[in-house]
A and B are shown apart, each in its own frame.
Chain A
Amino acid sequence: DVQMTQSPSYLAASPGESVSISCKASNSINSYLAWYQEKPGKTNKLLIYSGSTLQSGIPSRFSGSGSGTDFTLTIRSLEPEDFAVYYCQQHNEYPFTFGSGTKLEIK
């Protein structure tokens, strides 16, 4: 199975700042990586898939990059609603696997 290593597991930032979250795959997943947002009381939200394709309705301050084994989710100019837990997921091969999550908190 492809192991997904996400870092950091915890991140504190202030509104208006930009942050990046890393996701590394144990072997190449081409560009098939998705990012999700988890917030209390809400259902999980797909942000990005295929490495850099923004899901419909997701603000452009979210962006994804990378290919092969190294990927990054960047959030520019953090808004209060962006403080949440973020997961990556490889969708290149079975079984699909997830990173362990990054909790983004307000500093």
Chain B
Amino acid sequence: EVQLQQSGPELRRPGSSVKLSCKASGYSITDYLMHWVKHRPEHGLEWIGWIDPEDGETKYAQKFQSKATLTADTSSNTAYMQLSSLTSEDTATYFCARNGGYPYYVMDAWGQGASVTVSS
């Protein structure tokens, strides 16, 4: 069974950074792209970007280009997203999601979400 287990809730000060993890089980992360998605109730779902864990290639939405950094550790079958220079606008739930339908960019397995709260 494919599962994506995300790290726990985070509380950070403005200006700091946070690194979220997404550990895959039931498949090898090198076989699929991994997406990251931001969810704020008042703003809906926003696609951040994807990483190809096999070679580290990344693609970001322009608005997250300088905010998010996607990486992956194939030895632990885990994907990561680092968010930098945090502001209140980064308070959200973040999801990792496997790209399932190559060549289609759709998300066929999701993590449970990781809450990030940015507050002084």
Smallest CB gap from A50: residue in B? B104
- When the two chains form the complex, which single residue of B46, B101, B109 contacts A43, counting CB atoms closer than 8 Å? B109
A94 x B59 contact (CB < 8 A): yes
Tell me the count of chain B residues lying within 8 A, CB to CB, of chain A. 22
- When the two chains form the complex, which single residue of A32, A46, A94, A101 contacts B107, counting CB atoms closer than 8 Å? A46
Q: Does B14 count as interface, using CB distance less than 8 angstroms?
A: no
Q: Does A10 count as interface, using CB distance less than 8 angstroms?
A: no
Total A-B Cβ pairs within 8 A: 53
B61 x A94 contact (CB < 8 A): yes
Q: Does A65 count as interface, using CB distance less than 8 angstroms?
A: no
What residues of A have a CB within 8 angstroms of the CB of B45 in the complex?
A: 87, 89, 98, 101
What residues of B have a CB within 8 angstroms of the CB of A45 in the complex?
A: 110
Q: Does B11 count as interface, using CB distance less than 8 angstroms?
A: no
Closest beta carbon of chain A to B89's beta carbon, Å: 17
Q: Could you name 21 residue pairs across A and B whose Cβ atoms are closer than 8 Å?
A: A43-B110, A43-B111, A44-B97, A44-B107, A44-B110, A49-B101, A50-B101, A50-B104, A55-B108, A87-B45, A91-B104, A91-B105, A95-B61, A95-B63, A96-B47, A98-B44, A98-B45, A98-B46, A98-B47, A99-B44, A100-B44
Which residues from chain A sit less than 8 Å from chain B, CB to CB?
Answer: 32, 34, 36, 43-46, 49-50, 55, 87, 89, 91, 94-101
